[in-house]
Amino acid sequence: MYTIEEFTYQWKRLHHPSMNVDSDVAFFYEIYAGLHRLMEHDATCFDEQLILSLLLYTENTIAVGLDGVYEYRYRCVGNVVFKWCDSLDMDAEATSKVDNLVSQAVADAPCSALRQWMTESVLSGDFMRLGGMLAWFPCEDQVMWRIFPDLRFREMMFRRLTGDWQTARQMLWADLAFNWRDKRGDSLADTIAKQFRYETAFVEGKEKDLLKEAAGILDSIRSERLDTYTVIERKDGRTLTLRHRNGRIFHNVIFPMPVPGNVQGRSLAVQLVTYNGKTYINGSAVWLNKEAMPIWNGETNWNDILRKEQDAARLTYFTTTFGKRISLYEDLYTVPEDPEEAYYADMGIHFDEPNIFDFLEQLKPSGSVGGTVK
């Protein structure tokens, strides 16, 4: 078992370098110690990293409940705590203890360093800071890994464009942070904004106001997937006016690095994000030569990638908790057509599997209709 000093070191390594975990690291160490005792007593195998993974899920639930949204929305995620316990061959009683420990931690948490970091990143007015915060989730959040499509097609496209894996991977995280949308059509920023508004019901004073303000800013973010542009004006060393290949003009686009003086008329492939009324390069910019520009069609490339991702999902199956075998495509891309069914599916209640309504039906007295005995 880690000492508090060892745990603090490991806990910091699991978070973004710009995040200060000091305010609640002692709180999470207590949860870590409790989980450690349960694992030593009830688990057939032992792994420190597994404890840390459940702690990160608990931290996420305390902060904004982002993982919980996807846990209910996607059947391939399932109940995170129960799956965690199942991976350790814990019995029902031990699983209940772990679930109670996590639930109590969520109820007792005195503060959230994660939520504070997220809010401050949005309100900072610094696009690099905002982008780093949003990209941290697809890069590090294990729940989000389960709901993304097969990412090899996007990564290969970024790899062909940039020429190296490191830059390609950075562009991939930037793309997922701003351009990926879940089955409900929500981007990561959209979902965080909704969760910020939800959290305002449980906080008061300045924090409530900051969460509302941050939610409004997240709602206003607009992003453009990787595509090609031509420089039509260089305003200064970091600001250009770009023309999209379809003719749209983006004025005063801010680059993360100095731009040479001889770029007038040159073409490049970039992702763009508009935040706080300004437009920024999202990730790296790749300058294109005259031969590459005519054959690089963003719409065609993205349509091909999305088709391959969906085809891969159609060929991948998993079994739900209740034993139903469904394709990943059905889970990642489809929403029930019936509004009522779609509403409950978003809460993890699926009409094609046993659910809470079936349980309540079983509790009705024999011979009753609607709970009233004939």
Residue type, 199: E
- How far apart, in Å, are the Cα atoms of 234 and each of 15, 157, 231, 242, 257? 37, 28, 7, 9, 14
CB-CB contact of 225 with 298 (8 Å) = yes
**Can you read off the two tokens belonging to residue 24?**
């609640």
Output the average pLDDT for the chain: 91
Express each pLDDT in 317-351 by its tens digit.
999 988 999 999 999 999 999 999 999 999 999 99
Residue 369 pLDDT greater than 60, yes or no:
no
Determine the pLDDT at residue 371.
Answer: 45
Q: Which residues have CB under 8 Å from 284's CB, separation 6+? A: 162, 167, 170, 171, 270
Say which residue, 37 or 117, is predicted with more confidence: 117
**Containing H/E element for 120?**
helix 113-123
Report the residue count for the chain.
Answer: 374
SS3 227: strand
Q: Could you tell me how many helices (H) and strands (E) the chain has, helices first?
A: 18, 10
Phi, psi of 20 (to 5 degrees): -95, 115
Radius of gyration from C-alpha coordinates of the chain: 24
Q: Domain locations in the chain?
A: 4-115
Determine the pLDDT at residue 355.
Answer: 63
What is the spatial distance between Cα 39 and Cα 55, in angstroms, rounded to a whole number?
A: 14
Residue 360 pLDDT greater than 50, yes or no:
no
The predicted model gives 106-133 an average pLDDT of 96
Q: What is the pTM of this model?
A: 0.91
Residue 358 pLDDT greater than 80, yes or no:
no
What is the spatial distance between Cα 353 and Cα 288, in angstroms, rounded to a whole number?
A: 52
The band of 117, judged by pLDDT with boundaries at 50, 70 and 90, is: very high
